[in-house]
């Protein structure tokens, strides 16, 4: 057999893409090459794009894999093909991650993390309320305990919730909401709910922004949920040794999981078995009203 080809051509929905260095190791410790990565993205493209479509995209690029230098990219490069959809927002020309060809073109540029806005490019209306649970230690049991406390409170308020791993050390909780609130209003609600939990569990939780002042407490980040800010998209890979993935979960799985179990190698089979667990957020049948909480806050 001859040596492996150094370049592939891939045609996706009529777009022919050149894939350079297909055997380059991107996650060397996890034995993931660029070709493995592209296969993964094509496997998860449908549920991933269901959420990323028409949102402002920021990627983190690792030209030589996760063990080397990286940089954030918001502006679409000058050499971006004309067929890739973009949107100018606050003087930045963002790529819109709207189709498989865009995913693969950017992945070929070694975009290894995909972070998207909480609103669509066309407006600044938040599509959900989000809590990012950020631990201060490596004890994941603290994250599990905290997530279940958030879930308990949301259930009491009749707010539907979907949880996913961050792909790193935390969990993220999404509440699909009616498309008529401002970020100022969702921040009011986020602050109120996070503060309530901190007051009930002061030894476990904090909303202290300064890392040095948190001690071992878990930070409930409600501030990240804002116009133009981002979190990793569902099914986005992360630049971690194990090639972990930001993975939607069943709530009843949460007490038994560790984020390192969800990787490029394991998520495709999981998707096959469970389907898209993030569909209640990406394509919700029900969006919650925040009016009762906002009315209560206004009456205080």
Report the pLDDT value the prediction gives residue 1, as an integer from 0 to 100. Answer: 39
Domain assignment present for 275: no
Q: Do 190 and 293 reside in the same domain of the chain?
A: yes
pLDDT tens, residue by residue, 29-88:
999 999 999 999 999 999 999 999 999 999 999 999 999 999 999 999 999 999 999 999
**Which residues are paired to 249 by β-bridges?**
163
Residue range 170-194: mean pLDDT, rounded: 98
CA 289 from chain centre, in angstroms, equals 23
Residue range 216-239: mean pLDDT, rounded: 98
Residues found in the chain: 300
Domain assignment present for 25: yes
Residue range 181-194: mean pLDDT, rounded: 98
Report the pLDDT value the prediction gives residue 4, as an integer from 0 to 100. Answer: 52
Domain interval for residue 54: 7-121+230-251+262-269
Is the pLDDT reported for residue 195 higher than 80?
yes
Judging by beta carbons within 10 Å of its beta carbon (0-12, 13-18, 19+), is residue 125 exposed, middle or buried? middle
Residue 298 to residue 5: CA distance in whole angstroms = 65
Q: Do 287 and 182 reside in the same domain of the chain?
A: yes
Domain assignment present for 257: no
Is the pLDDT reported for residue 174 higher than 70?
yes
**Distant-in-sequence, close-in-space partners of 90: CB < 8 Å, separation ≥ 6:** 228
Q: Do 191 and 145 reside in the same domain of the chain?
A: yes
Using the CB atoms, write b or e for 32-53: b if 16+ within 10 Å. Answer: bbbbbbbebbbbbbebbbbbbb
Domain assignment present for 1: no
Residue 290 to residue 180: CA distance in whole angstroms = 10
Q: Do 76 and 38 reside in the same domain of the chain?
A: yes
pLDDT tens, residue by residue, 135-156:
999 999 999 999 999 999 999 9
Q: Do 70 and 151 reside in the same domain of the chain?
A: no
pLDDT tens, residue by residue, 229-281:
999 999 999 999 999 999 999 999 999 999 999 999 999 999 999 999 999 99
> What CATH number corresponds to the domain at position 98?
3.90.920.10
**Strand, helix or coil at 188?**
helix
**Are the C-beta atoms of residues 268 and 46 closer than 8 Å to each other?**
no
Report the pLDDT value the prediction gives residue 8, as an integer from 0 to 100. Answer: 84
The domain tally of the chain equals 2
CA 76 from chain centre, in angstroms, equals 20
Domain assignment present for 133: yes
Q: Do 142 and 238 reside in the same domain of the chain?
A: no
Domain assignment present for 287: yes
Question: Which is nearest to 167 in space by CA: 241, 249, 260, 257?
Answer: 260
**Are the C-beta atoms of residues 191 and 222 closer than 8 Å to each other?**
yes
Question: Which is nearest to 149 in space by CA: 248, 209, 220, 207?
Answer: 220
Residue 159 to residue 65: CA distance in whole angstroms = 40
Report the percentage of the chain scoring pLDDT > 90: 96
Is the pLDDT reported for residue 3 higher than 90?
no
Q: Do 218 and 293 reside in the same domain of the chain?
A: yes
Using the CB atoms, write b or e for 174-204: b if 16+ within 10 Å. Answer: bbbbeeebebebbbbbbebbbeebbeeeeee
Residue range 112-125: mean pLDDT, rounded: 98
Give the C-alpha distances (Å, rounded to integers) separating 89 from 58, 124, 199, 201, 229.
Answer: 12, 10, 38, 39, 12
Q: Do 133 and 89 reside in the same domain of the chain?
A: no
Q: Do 206 and 235 reside in the same domain of the chain?
A: no
Q: Do 107 and 209 reside in the same domain of the chain?
A: no
Angle between helices 291-299 and 183-200 (to 10 degrees): 70
Q: Which residue has the tokens 């296969």?
A: 39
Is the pLDDT reported for residue 169 higher than 50?
yes
Domain assignment present for 256: no
CA 51 from chain centre, in angstroms, equals 9
Is the pLDDT reported for residue 2 higher than 90?
no
Mean pLDDT over all residues of the chain? 96
Q: Do 107 and 163 reside in the same domain of the chain?
A: no
Residue range 284-295: mean pLDDT, rounded: 98
Is the pLDDT reported for residue 5 higher than 70?
no
pTM of the model: 0.95
Q: Do 239 and 221 reside in the same domain of the chain?
A: no
Domain assignment present for 100: yes
Report the percentage of the chain scoring pLDDT > 70: 98
Report the pLDDT value the prediction gives residue 6, as an integer from 0 to 100. Answer: 66
């Amino acid at each position: 057999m001859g040596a492996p080809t150094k370049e592939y051509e891939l045609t996706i929905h009529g777009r022919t893409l050149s894939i350079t260095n297909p055997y380059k190791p991107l996650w060397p410790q996890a034995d993931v090459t660029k070709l493995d990565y592209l296969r993964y993205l094509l496997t998860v493209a449908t549920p991933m794009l269901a959420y990323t479509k028409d949102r402002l995209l920021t990627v983190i690029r690792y030209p030589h894999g996760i063990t080397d230098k990286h940089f954030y990219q918001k502006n679409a490069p000058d050499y971006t093909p004309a067929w890739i959809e973009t949107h100018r927002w606050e003087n930045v020309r963002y790529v819109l991650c709207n189709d498989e060809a865009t995913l693969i073109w950017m992945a070929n540029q070694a975009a290894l993390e995909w972070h998207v806005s909480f609103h669509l490019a066309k407006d600044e209306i938040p599509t959900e309320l989000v809590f990012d649970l950020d631990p201060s230690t490596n004890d994941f049991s603290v994250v599990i305990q905290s997530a279940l406390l958030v879930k308990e409170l949301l259930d009491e308020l009749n707010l539907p919730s979907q949880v996913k791993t961050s792909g790193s050390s935390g969990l993220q909780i999404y509440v699909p909401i009616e498309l008529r609130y401002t970020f100022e209003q969702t921040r009011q609600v986020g602050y109120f709910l996070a503060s309530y939990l901190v007051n009930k569990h002061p030894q476990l939780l904090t909303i202290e922004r300064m890392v040095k002042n948190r001690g071992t407490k878990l930070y409930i980040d409600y501030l990240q949920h804002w116009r133009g800010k981002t979190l990793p998209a569902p099914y986005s890979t992360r630049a971690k040794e194990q090639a972990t993935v930001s993975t939607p979960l069943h709530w009843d799985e949460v007490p038994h999981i560790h984020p390192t179990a969800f990787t490029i190698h394991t998520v495709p089979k999981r998707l096959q078995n469970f389907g898209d667990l993030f569909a209640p957020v990406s394509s919700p049948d029900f969006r919650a009203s925040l009016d009762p909480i906002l009315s209560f806050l206004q009456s205080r």
